[in-house]
């Protein structure tokens, strides 16, 4: 199976840019998710309770946003 995306440039330049940078955006989200998870999992002994709660809230928020958008990290 093949999929071909076609864009009318320059009218659809924004859509084109979104399509060609999607992999990079996925990588950014994946890396941020892992950063937050690793902070909580491996560095929790070295942070205050408030700091831990802040990281926890950030990870929870990121997970909620991904869930609402049916976004799956692979």
- Tokens 């999992």 correspond to 41
In tens, the pLDDT along 26-71 reads: 999 999 999 999 999 999 999 999 999 999 999 999 999 999 999 9
> Which pLDDT value is given to residue 73?
84
> Which pLDDT value is given to residue 17?
97
Would you call 73 helix, strand, or coil by DSSP?
A: coil
- pTM for this predicted structure: 0.82
State yes or no: pLDDT of 74 exceeds 90.
no
Would you call 19 helix, strand, or coil by DSSP?
A: helix
Residue by residue, DSSP assigns 41-69 as: HHSGGGS-HHHHHHHHHHHHHHHHHHHHT
> Which pLDDT value is given to residue 30?
96
Those residues whose C-beta lies under 8 Å from the C-beta of residue 57, and which sit 6 or more positions away, are none
> Which pLDDT value is given to residue 18?
96
């Amino acid at each position: 199976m093949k999929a071909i995306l076609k864009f009318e440039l320059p009218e659809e330049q924004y859509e084109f840019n979104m399509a060609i940078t999607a992999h990079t955006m996925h990588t950014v989200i994946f890396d941020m998710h892992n950063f937050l998870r690793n902070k909580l999992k491996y560095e929790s002994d070295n942070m205050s309770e408030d700091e831990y709660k802040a990281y926890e809230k950030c990870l929870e928020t990121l997970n909620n946003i991904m869930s609402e958008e049916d976004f799956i990290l692979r």
